[in-house]
Every structure is written in C-alpha cells, then in structure tokens.
C-alpha cells in the first residue's frame, strides 16, 4: 500500500514556490547584497530535490522536461560565452561591463554583463547538484 | 676532393637502400654484392690520401649541425684516423665479400644483416674521423647499438640475446663514463675540438678535473676494448655470425678503445696514473686473456680470449709509449716512441691475422658443422688451403718469423725491456715485472696458437664426429682470408713500406710533440742477436714443451672453478641488483594507502619543520592580533568537542553527525566574521555533504560491516600530532609577518569599477571571474563523473545479467 503523504505534498506545493522565489531573489540580489549564482543555484536545486522527494522522480520528470546534465553544460557554455564576448569587442577575456538603463517599470536599473556570467554559474550549479542526487538515487 | 663527411655518411645512406635491394633483387643477386661497393669505394678513396698524409698534411672539414651550440660534424684526417679508416674500410670490404658466401641468400634475413653492418661501419668511420668530442661520443654509442643488433642477429637464440645484452650493458656503461670524461674536458678547455684540447694542454694538465676526466675516459676505452675486468662481454659476443665476429670483435670495434687511448695520449700521456693504468691494465689483460684462451674448447671462444689478450698487448704498448710524452724529444723519448710505433704496428698486424683466423673458423664451422676442438682434427688433408691460411695467421699470432706478428712481438719485447730500465714512476723496483709477465703471456699465446692450429688441423681425421660431408671451402669464401694471409707475409718482408706511408704519420698524430723521422723507425726482421730474440727463442722452446705436455696440465686449467670467473660474478651482480631493487621496491611500495600517506605526511612535516627551525623562520608576533571575543571562544570549544567526538566516535553515524556539526559551526564562524555569502554557501554545502555521507553509509555492504571504534595506532597519532603542530607553527609564524599592504583597498572600489555593492560577488564574477569559470567546470565534471560512475556500473550489471 502506498503511504498517504498528503501533508508533505501540500506543504511542498507551497514551500517549493517560496524556495524558488527566494532562490531567484538570492540570485538577482547577488550583485549588491549577499547571494549570487552559487547560492541561488543551490537553493533552486534544493527546491527541485524537495519536489522529487515528495512527488517521486517519474512525476517530476514528466513536468520538468529538463536534462540536468545538459543544463550544467549550457551553464558552463554561457559563462565561457560571456568571456568570449569581451574578446569580440577587443577586450581581454572575461571583461565585464555594466551600465544604468531607465526601464519603464523598474526605473533606473543597473544592468551588468556579470549577471549573464552569474546565470551560467547558477545553471551549472543547478544542473550538477540535481544530476548528482538523481544519479545516486537511481542507483538501486 | 670530395668533402670528407660524404664518406662517413655513405654507409648510412646506403643502409637505407639495402632493404629495397633485398626485396627486389635478392632473388637474382646476393645483396652483399651491392653492399661491397661501399667499403670498397671508401677504401680506394682513402688510399688516395696516403701520399699527402705521409707528407705530413692533415685535413679538416666542418659541416654545421647545431651551430648555435658549436656542435658541428668536424671531420679530421691525420695519420691515425687514416690508419683506422683504411682498416675499417679494407677489412670491411673483405668481410662483406666473405659474408656473401657465408650468409645464405635464401635462409638469412640479409637486409637486417647488411643494414646493421653498414650502420656499424658508418659509426666506426664517424668515430675515427670525428674531431668534435660530442659527435665522437654519438658515433661511439652508435657502434655499441649496431654491435648490439649484430650480436643478436639470430635473435631467436637465447644465448645471442644474452650476449648482446651483456655487451650492450658493459659498453654503454663505459660510453657514459667516457661522456662524463669528455664533458669534464670540455669544461676544462672550453672547446669541443680534440685538436684545440691538445693546443690547450697546459690549462688541462693543471686543472683539478684532470684526473677524474682521465679515469672516466679510460673506463670508456677499457670497456670498449675489452680490457680487464670489462673483457667478459667479448666471449659472449661470439654468438654473432662469424663475419661479424671477424669484423667487429677482432678488427674494428674493439679497437675503438685503442683509438681513444691513442687519441688522448697527447693530452693525458706523461702522467704516472695514465701510464700505470694503461700499461698495467694492458699487461694484466694480456696475461689473463692468453691464460684463459688455453682453457677454451670452442674455437671462437679461444679466438675471443686471444683477441682480449692481443688488445691488452696493444694497450700495454700504448701505455709504455706514453712515457715518451714524459721524456719529450731526446734519446730516452725516442726509445718509447718506438713503443707507440710498435702499438700501431701490432694493431695493424692483429687486424690482418685475427680477421683471417675468424674467417678460418667460419669456414670450419660452415663446412664441418662443428666449432669444438674436441670433435675436430685432421682437417689438414681435407682443407689444405684453409689450413695454410690458419698456419700463416696462427704462427703470426704466436709471433714467429716469417710473419708480421714476429716483428711487432719483437718490438713489444724491446719496449717492455726498456720500461724495466726507465726508472721513473716507481718503476725502478717492479719494472722488471713488465718483461717477465710479457714473456710468460707470450708463452701462453704460443701454446694456444699451437692448440688452435694443430688440434683442428693436425691429428687423426674423424669424419664420424662431424655432421657434414667435409670438403674444401668454396673459392669465394677463401678470397678474403687469402688476402689477409698474403698481407701477413707481405708485411713481414716489406714492413717499411707500411711503416713509412701509414704508421709514421699515425705516430706523429699520437705523439705530436716528438719529431720523428722514418729513419728512426726502421723495422728490421734481423736486428742482431739481442735480448728480444733470446726471449722469442725461449718462448718457442717453452711453448713447445708446454704444448707437448698439454694433456697433463690443461685439465687442471679447465677445472678452474666456475665461481671464480669474472662472467659468473657479473651475472651474479646483475641478478643481485635486480633482486635488491625488487625487494627494495616491494618493501616501500606496499600498495597500502596508509603507508603512502605516512610517507607523504612525514616528508611534509620533515621538510617544513626542518626549514622552519633551520632557517630561523620561527618567531611569533601577537601584537597585531584582534582580541578574542566571547562567541569565538565558545565556538572554538564546541568545535574541539565535535572534532574529538569524530575521532572517538563508536560508530559512523555519530562521526557523520559530529562532522556536520563542525560544518555548521564553521558557517557560524563565517557569520561572526561577517562573511554572509560564505556562511550561506557553507550551510547549504554542509547539508548536501552530510546527506551524501549518510547515503554512502546506507550503501555500505552488509558483509564484514563491523561497527567499531577506530583502532589506535601510535604512528598515526605521532604523525597527525606532528602534522597539526607543523601547520599551527607555520600559520602562527606567518601571521606575524606582513610583508606588504594587502590589496583589499582595490576591491573596495567595486561599485565604481564593476557596478556591484557586493564585493565578494564582484570578485567572483568580475575581478577574478576566470577562477569561477574553472570552478563551475570542475563542478560540472564532478557531476558527469558521478553520473558515469553510477551508470557504467548499472550497465555492467545489466550486461552481466544477460550473459
């Protein structure tokens, strides 16, 4: 008989959203406050792991159709790509720039190319962490 | 004339063509016929140089090789190198002619044979014509390598391989010694050229490296020329085909050491160490070789030991001749110049008679299928021409008239008699030993020559003991020994032609400081009734007596215990070294990780502690330290408790949890020390690792799983305490030393430079983004590694199940 873990699932439904939001906050906030790609990625991964724990691997896989190995690879590629962008503009490898843009809703917003780099970091961390945990948990 | 190096490289170039000739033309014509052209053309070309070299001219050609390092193929032609060049190409041509009939066209891998032989010939020509020390060394090693290949020509035989290995080990050992000597010479005189070394004599002779350089060079010469006690490789090298033995191990390669000694005589000669080593070792080798040769029953082994003995004779003469350098021009100097002359003369004679003797043995082996004198006998009637050649060459080796060996042996006796009266280098008291040993060795030489001739050709013919129908060798096989035999006689009757044209210029090359005229060095067969002639007579009489009574005493000689042989000791030494290194490796390469960690940590502690204490790096400065707060103290105490719990934990779960506690406390430290990013990361990472540890724990195999405490080992405790102490001391001493201002001030401008208020993040993604890039690569690789490890195992398990 399957155990009835309705409480766990209900809590997870709410908690996952909160964790994901928090991790996005950590990630976006990293430029000016504690946080950043690494910790943001890890907390995203923890949200995904929580989903796996409560709903089972098969169900989550149906809904999140992502190959996390590829995700990690894409992350690394993005990071390398931002580095190459500097080279294209005649700057040394991995030169980052930033600028202030007046966006309609957000007002005066600072956009930094480092954020793209950080996205790469975050994707790589998410991909790796979920990949490791999935691999080990499938090893039965 | 054609630049000289063209002829050094001709054999190498031709060696490239040989395999093609073998593949396409061998069915019609024996490959050897084409190869014969090479030494023949070199020989003729060198003959053209004789008149001008005899007139005292020398030639020098330079081909740039590595000009920036001053390494050039400098070929230098004087009397000495011309003598050797003629020997190499002349005997080479005869040997190749002989090998055409000796080596079967159908059965043998002729392309290998001739490629190796040509390589050897080119290397040998390179040795004698090189003026550059390092190029000389290069060619020298090439002779070792090609000789190795030739000895192991029949590589499917075990004894061939062993002989080749032994020769390789010993000659390369000597070659390395020689290289060391050469490098010292180069350091002393700051030149690579042998010519310029001789020009800078006074610098070299007063240098502190003079003696070590001499010893190293001599090791090279002695190993190559099979001098005592390095002679053991030569008898084993007799596993090579007979043309090879005849060429390499009698006429050319073994004389490379002689050449080296002769070349270096102007540099090292005149010192007592040189004299005693060269002459002394030569004399010992002479006696040892002749004594051991008598014991042999195998004809080739007999000739091998006789080669050793004759090389000893030449070496001894060169040693004696080096006294001329000491005395300088003058009456007593001239006397010893004659000794060097005798050395060169005997060198030439030995090549002629020993080459033909080896060919005779090859013929006997080829026609009878036997090489052992216990099976042979009475071949005189069946093989008259071969017998004649053997008689001529054998008696020449024994030093009898009317053959060339007689002349050089007389000069040898003359030289050793002079040495006993030289009265320098402590010769006064023991100088008389020289003629006595030489005389005794000559008697033995005489005896083994008699054994060689009369045990094989004399006595009763016993065809039942032989494996083949015995008949005279084909004419082609006889040409080469006939030519050499004719030379043996011709040189006896006209020695001064050779002396004037070739040997005198060679002598001026060995002893450039002596102004010799051909008149001083007239070789005469009859030089009056003197001590030397009496010695020869007594040698013949005693030799005949000993030969007649050989049956009685030779048994005692053959019964000489195996345990006292040099070769036995060499083999034991090789085995011992292998065993020793094997057991040594097994002793420390235990395969136990714990042992390797002990080595690593002990070395770490040893190096760091000794350098800390030895270099006075150990002093503390606490003045800059911040005050210790309440939270820090509490956390440290908690961490110590957690650490001790990990060590003392009775089961793994406790250890894992304690480790997790440590991790969280570290993140608390980060909080206290105001590192929020680190604290966040540390917290999450610690959680993940703890979970992974627990997973690992869950998967431990049930079998043999014993939950017990870590066993106590004293070594572990000592090493870990020492390690901790070392690192603590290091950190404490480093703490007090601020060598320069930290660069944190730069990063505090993160907002202006990178638009970021979070300095840590700015450093990670902007200032030092490259590190981060590689770190995420590491992370991804680790993830892929885990995936592969897990899935490979799953796949393997599945494939096992389907099987």
Q: Are residues B534 and B660 in the same domain?
A: no
**Closest residue by Cα to residue B349 from B386, B317, B322, B384:** B317
Range of the domain at B415: 286-508+515-575
- Nearest CB to A136: which of B754, B762, B786? B786
What is the reported pLDDT for B428? 66
- Smallest Cβ distance to A94: which of B770, B777, B782? B770
* Same domain for B528 and B447: yes
Q: Is the pLDDT of residue B638 over 90?
A: yes
Q: For the ranges B165-169, B430-434, B442-446, which has the lowest average pLDDT?
A: B430-434
- Greater model confidence, B467 or B303: B303
Residues 6+ apart with CB under 8 A from B169: B233, B574
Q: How far does the CA of residue B783 sit from the closest CA of chain A (Å)?
A: 5
- Per the domain annotation, does B91 fall within a domain? no
Q: Are B34 and B48 in contact (CB under 8 A)?
A: no
Contact between B85 and B49 under an 8 Å Cβ cutoff? The reply is no
Q: Which two tokens stand for residue B27?
A: 């069915």
Give A136→chain B minimum CA distance, Å: 7
More confident residue, B689 or B327: B689
For A134-138, B194-198, B274-278, B389-393, which range has the lowest pLDDT when averaged over its residues? A134-138
pLDDT exceeds cutoff 70 at A123: yes
Contact B684 A121 (CB under 8 A): no
Q: Are residues B462 and B537 in the same domain?
A: yes
Q: In terms of pLDDT, which residue wins out, A95 or B167?
A: B167
Chain A residues whose beta carbon lies within 8 Å of the beta carbon of residue B764: 36-38
Neighbouring CB atoms inside 10 A of B762's CB total 27
N-term to C-term CA, chain B: 77
Interface of B with A (CB under 8 A): 676-677, 680-681, 684-685, 688, 692, 695, 754-758, 760-762, 764-766, 769-770, 772-773, 776-777, 779-780, 782-784, 786-787, 790-791, 793-794
Three-state SS for B521? Answer: coil
- Domain boundary, last residue among B527, B545, B575: B575
Q: Please judge whether B783 and A73 are an interchain contact, meaning their C-beta atoms are less than 8 angstroms apart.
A: no
Residues B535 and B627 in one domain: no
Tell me if A96 and B680 make a contact (CB, 8 A cut-off): no
Residue B671, domain CATH: 1.20.120
When pLDDT is averaged across residues B681-701 and rounded to a whole number, the result is 81
Residue B532: per-residue pLDDT: 78
Mean pLDDT confidence for B249-260: 86
Q: Distance (Å) from the C-alpha of residue A135 to the closest C-alpha of chain B? A: 5
Tell me, yes or no, whether B489 and B612 share the same domain. no
- pLDDT tens digits, B381-393: 888 888 888 888 9
* Tens-place pLDDT, residues B560-580: 666 567 788 888 888 999 999
CB-nearest to B766 from A35, A114, A135 is: A114
R_g of chain A computed on alpha carbons: 18
Q: Taking 90 as the threshold, does the pLDDT of residue B603 lie above it?
A: yes
Q: State the pLDDT at residue B194.
A: 86
Mean pLDDT of chain B: 84
Res B742: pLDDT? 80
Partner residue opposite A76 with nearest CB, options B761, B765, B776: B776
Task: Tell me: pLDDT of B777 over 70.
Answer: yes
Residues B736-746 pLDDT 10s: 666 778 888 88
Q: Which one of A30, A120, A132 has the shortest CB-CB distance to B783? A: A132
Residues of A with a Cβ under 8 Å from any B Cβ are 26, 30-39, 42-43, 46, 69, 72-73, 75-76, 79-80, 83, 93-94, 96, 98-99, 110, 112, 114, 117-118, 120-121, 124-125, 127-129, 131-132, 135-136, 138-139
Handedness of CA B745, B747, B748, B750 (dihedral sign): positive
Last residue of a domain, one of B704, B736, B768: B736
Number of A–B residue contacts, CB under 8 Å: 131
Contacting residues of B for A128, CB less than 8 Å apart? 779-780, 782-783
Same domain, B534 and B392: yes
Best to test chain A binding among B681, B775, B780 (most A CBs inside 10 Å): B780
Predicted TM-score (pTM) of this structure: 0.80
Look at A125 and B773 and tell me if their CB atoms are within 8 Å: no
pLDDT (tens digit per residue) in B159-183? 889 889 988 999 999 999 999 999 9
Percent of chain B with pLDDT over 90: 12
pLDDT digits 0-9 by tens, B341-353: 888 888 888 988 8
**How many domains are contained in chain B?**
2
Name the closest residue on chain A to residue B773, using Cα atoms.
Answer: A79
Give the model confidence (pLDDT) of B115-139 as tens digits.
999 999 999 988 988 888 898 999 9
Q: Is the pLDDT of residue B542 over 60?
A: yes
- A56 — alpha (psi -120 to 50), left (phi > 0) or beta? left
B173 or B755: which carries more pLDDT confidence?
Answer: B173
Would residue B629 count as lying in a domain?
yes
Contact, B764 vs B678, CB < 8 A?
no
Please give, rounded to a whole number of angstroms, the shortest distance from the CA of A68 to a CA of chain B.
10
Q: What is the pLDDT of residue A1?
A: 52
- CA–CA dist B105, B606 (Å, integer): 67
Which chain B residues contact residue A131 at CB under 8 A? Answer: 783-784, 786-787
Answer whether A112 sits within 8 Å of B754, measured CB to CB: yes
- The Cα B32–Cα B491 span in angstroms is 29
Question: What is residue B504's predicted lDDT score, i.e. its pLDDT?
Answer: 81
Distance from CA of B630 to the nearest CA of A (A): 26
Domain-embedded: residue B762: no
What is residue B35's predicted lDDT score, i.e. its pLDDT? 85
Last residue within a domain, chosen from B680, B707, B736: B736
**B632: distance to nearest CA of chain A, Å?**
22
Give the best residue of A23, A29, A31 to mutate against chain B (max B CB count within 10 A): A31
In a domain, B586, yes or no: no
> How confident is residue B530, by pLDDT bands cut at 50, 70 and 90?
confident
Beta pairing, strands A107-112 & B71-77: unpaired
Contacts 24+ apart (CB under 8 A), B205-209: B205/B271, B209/B184
Cβ pair A39:B680 closer than 8 A: yes
* Residue B583 Cα, gap to closest chain A Cα (Å): 43
Does residue B534 surpass a pLDDT of 70? yes
A42 vs B684, B692, B786: nearest CB:
B684
Residue B701 in 3-state DSSP? Answer: coil
Question: H-helix or E-strand containing B70?
Answer: none
Residue B240 lies in a domain: no
Residues of A in contact with B681 (CB under 8 A): 38-39, 42
Residue B520, helix vs strand vs coil: coil
CA A76 to chain centre: 13
Instruction: Looking at the structure, tell me whether residues B527 and B405 fall in a common domain.
Output: yes
The pLDDT assigned to B707 comes to: 57
Tokens representing B299? 């004809």
Q: Which residues of B touch A136 (CB under 8 A)?
A: 692, 695, 786, 790
Residue B682, min C-alpha distance to chain A (Å) = 9
- Token output for B514: 């002596």
Q: Does residue B559 share a domain with residue B504?
A: yes
Judge if B565 and B608 occupy the same domain. no
Least confident interval from B166-170, B328-332, B707-711 = B707-711
ipTM greater than cut 0.85: yes
Are B758 and A36 in contact (CB < 8 Å)?
Answer: yes
CB pair distance less than 8 Å for B783 and A72: yes
pLDDT 10s digits, B71-128 = 888 888 888 888 898 998 899 999 988 888 888 777 778 888 889 999 999 999 889 8
Answer yes or no: do B598 and B544 share one domain.
no
**Alpha helices for B461-592 (secondary structure H):** 475-493, 495-498, 504-510, 531-548, 550-558, 566-588
Which residues of A fall within a CB distance of 8 Å from B773?
A: 76, 79-80, 83, 94
Planar angle of CA B173, B175, B179, nearest 5 degrees: 120
User: In this structure, is residue B132 part of a structural domain?
Assistant: no
- pLDDT > 80? residue A3: no
pLDDT in tens, B207-229: 888 888 888 989 988 998 888 88
User: In angstroms, rounded to a whole number, what is the distance separating the alpha carbons of residues A109 and B171?
Assistant: 81
Burial class (CB in 10 A: 0-12, 13-18, 19+), A109: exposed
Residue B650 lies in a domain: yes
- Assess whether B523 and B649 both reside in one domain: no
pLDDT band, residue B582 (cuts 50/70/90)? very high
Contacts of A22 in chain B (CB under 8 A): none
B702 min Cα distance to partner chain A (Å) = 15
| B255 belongs to a structural domain | no
A94 CB neighbours in chain B (<8 A) are 769-770, 773
- Same domain? B494 vs B642: no
Inter-chain touch A128–B779, beta carbons under 8 Å: yes
pLDDT for the residue numbered B232: 86
Mutate to test the interface with B, among A124, A126, A140 (most CBs of B within 10 A): A124
Residue A114 and residue B769: Cβ atoms within 8 Å? yes
Query: Of A34, A72, A136, which is closest to B758 when you measure between CB atoms?
Result: A34
Locate the chain A residue with the closest alpha carbon to B751. Answer: A32
Q: Is the pLDDT of residue B585 over 60?
A: yes
The pLDDT, as a whole number, for residue B1 is 47
Bigger pLDDT: B47 or A138? B47
pLDDT of residue B607: 92
Task: Name the band, by pLDDT with cuts 50, 70 and 90, for residue B667.
Answer: very high
Would strands A107-112 and B59-66 be described as parallel, antiparallel, or unpaired? Answer: unpaired
CA distance A132 to chain B (A): 5
* Distance in angstroms (rounded) separating the CA atoms of residues B268 and B274: 7
Provide long-range contacts, Cβ within 8 A and 24+ apart, for B693-699: B693/B656, B693/B659, B693/B660, B694/B653, B694/B656, B695/A136, B697/B652, B697/B653, B697/B656
* Measured distance CA(B279)–CA(B329) in Å, rounded: 21
Residue A105, min C-alpha distance to chain B (Å): 21
Min mean pLDDT across A69-78, B284-293, B486-495, B520-529 is at B520-529
Question: Are B765 and A138 in contact (CB < 8 Å)?
Answer: no
């Amino acid at each position: 008989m399957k155990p009835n873990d309705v409480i766990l699932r209900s809590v997870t439904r709410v908690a996952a959203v909160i964790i994901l939001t928090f991790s996005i906050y950590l990630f976006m906030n990293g430029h000016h406050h504690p946080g950043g790609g690494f910790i943001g990625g890890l907390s995203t991964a923890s949200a995904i792991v929580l989903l796996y724990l409560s709903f089972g691997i098969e169900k989550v896989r149906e809904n999140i159709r992502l190959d996390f190995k590829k995700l990690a690879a894409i992350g690394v590629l993005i990071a390398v790509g931002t580095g190459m962008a500097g080279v294209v503009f005649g700057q040394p490898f991995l030169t980052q720039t930033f600028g202030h843009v007046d966006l309609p809703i957000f007002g005066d917003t600072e956009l930094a190319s480092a954020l793209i780099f950080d996205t790469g970091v975050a994707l790589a961390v998410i991909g790796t962490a979920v990949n490791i945990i999935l691999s080990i948990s499938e090893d039965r | 004339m054609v630049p000289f190096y063209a002829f050094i490289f001709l054999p190498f170039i031709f060696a490239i063509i040989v395999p093609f000739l073998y593949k396409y033309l061998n069915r019609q014509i024996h490959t050897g016929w084409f190869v014969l052209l090479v030494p023949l053309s070199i020989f003729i070309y060198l003959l053209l140089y004789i008149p001008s070299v005899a007139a005292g001219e020398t030639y020098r050609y330079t081909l740039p090789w590595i000009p920036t390092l001053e390494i050039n193929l400098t070929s230098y032609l004087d009397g000495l190198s011309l003598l050797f060049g003629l020997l190499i190409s002349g005997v080479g041509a005869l040997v190749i002619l002989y090998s055409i009939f000796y080596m079967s066209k159908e059965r043998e891998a002729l392309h290998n044979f001739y490629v190796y032989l040509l390589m050897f010939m080119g290397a040998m020509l390179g040795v004698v014509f090189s003026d550059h020390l390092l190029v000389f060394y290069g060619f020298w090693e090439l002779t070792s390598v090609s000789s190795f290949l030739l000895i192991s020509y029949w590589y499917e035989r075990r004894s061939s391989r062993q002989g080749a290995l032994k020769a390789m080990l010993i000659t390369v050992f000597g070659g390395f010694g020689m290289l060391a000597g050469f490098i010292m010479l180069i350091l002393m005189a700051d030149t690579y050229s042998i010519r310029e070394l001789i020009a800078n004599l006074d610098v070299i002779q007063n240098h502190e490296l003079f003696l070590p350089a001499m010893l190293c060079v001599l090791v090279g010469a002695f190993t190559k020329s099979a001098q005592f006690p390095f002679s053991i490789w030569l008898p084993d090298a007799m596993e090579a085909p007979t043309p090879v033995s005849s060429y390499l191990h009698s006429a050319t390669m073994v004389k490379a050491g002689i050449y080296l000694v002769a070349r270096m005589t102007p540099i090292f000669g005149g010192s007592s160490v040189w004299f005693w080593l060269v002459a002394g070792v030569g004399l010992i080798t002479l006696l040892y070789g002749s004594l051991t040769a008598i014991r042999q029953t195998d004809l080739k082994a007999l000739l091998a030991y006789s080669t050793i003995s004759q090389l000893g004779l030449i070496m001894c003469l060169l040693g004696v001749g080096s006294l001329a350098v000491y005395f300088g021009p003058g009456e007593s100097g001239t006397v010893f110049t004659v000794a060097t002359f005798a050395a060169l003369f005997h060198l030439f004679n030995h090549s002629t008679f020993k080459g033909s003797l080896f060919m005779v043995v090859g013929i006997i082996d080829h026609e009878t299928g036997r090489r052992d004198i216990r099976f042979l006998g009475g071949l005189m009637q069946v093989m008259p021409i071969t017998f004649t050649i053997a008689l001529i060459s054998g008696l020449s080796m024994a030093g009898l008239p009317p053959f060339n060996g007689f002349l050089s042996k007389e000069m040898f006796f003359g030289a050793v008699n002079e040495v006993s009266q030289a009265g320098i280098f402590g010769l006064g008291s023991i100088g008389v030993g020289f003629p006595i040993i030489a005389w005794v060795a000559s008697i033995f030489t005489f005896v083994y020559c008699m054994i060689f001739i009369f045990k094989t050709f004399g006595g009763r013919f016993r065809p039942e003991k032989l494996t083949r129908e015995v008949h005279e060798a084909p004419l082609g096989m006889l040409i080469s020994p006939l030519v050499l035999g004719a030379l043996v006689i011709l040189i006896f009757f006209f020695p001064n032609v050779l002396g004037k044209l070739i040997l005198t210029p060679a002598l001026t090359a060995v002893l450039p400081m002596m102004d010799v005229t051909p008149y001083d060095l007239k070789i005469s067969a009859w030089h009056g009734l003197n001590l030397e002639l009496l010695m020869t007579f007594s040698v013949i009489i005693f030799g005949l007596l000993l030969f007649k009574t050989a049956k009685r005493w030779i048994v005692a000689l053959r019964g000489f215990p195996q345990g006292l042989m040099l070769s036995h000791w060499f083999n034991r030494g090789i085995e011992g070294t292998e065993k020793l290194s094997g057991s040594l490796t097994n002793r420390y390469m235990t395969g136990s990780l714990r042992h390797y960690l002990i080595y690593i940590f002990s070395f770490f502690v040893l190096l760091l502690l000794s350098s800390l204490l030895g270099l006075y790096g150990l002093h503390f400065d606490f003045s800059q330290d911040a005050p210790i707060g309440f939270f820090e103290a509490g956390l440290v105490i908690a961490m110590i408790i957690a650490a001790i719990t990990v060590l003392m934990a009775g089961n793994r779960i406790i250890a894992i949890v304690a480790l997790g506690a440590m991790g969280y406390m570290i993140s608390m430290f980060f909080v206290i020390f105001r590192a929020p990013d680190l604290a966040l990361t540390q917290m999450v990472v610690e959680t993940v690792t703890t979970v992974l540890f627990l997973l690992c724990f869950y998967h431990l195999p049930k079998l043999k799983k014993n939950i017990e405490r870590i066993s106590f080992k004293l070594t572990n405790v000592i090493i870990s305490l020492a390690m901790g102490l070392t690192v603590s001391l290091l950190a404490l001493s480093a703490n007090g030393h601020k060598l320069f201002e930290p660069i944190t001030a730069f990063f505090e401008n993160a907002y202006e430079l990178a638009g970021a208020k979070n300095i840590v993040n700015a450093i990670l993604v902007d200032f030092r983004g490259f590190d981060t890039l590689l770190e995420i690569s590491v992370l991804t690789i680790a993830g892929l590694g885990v995936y592969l490890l897990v899935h490979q195992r799953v796949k393997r398990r599945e494939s096992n199940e389907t099987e």
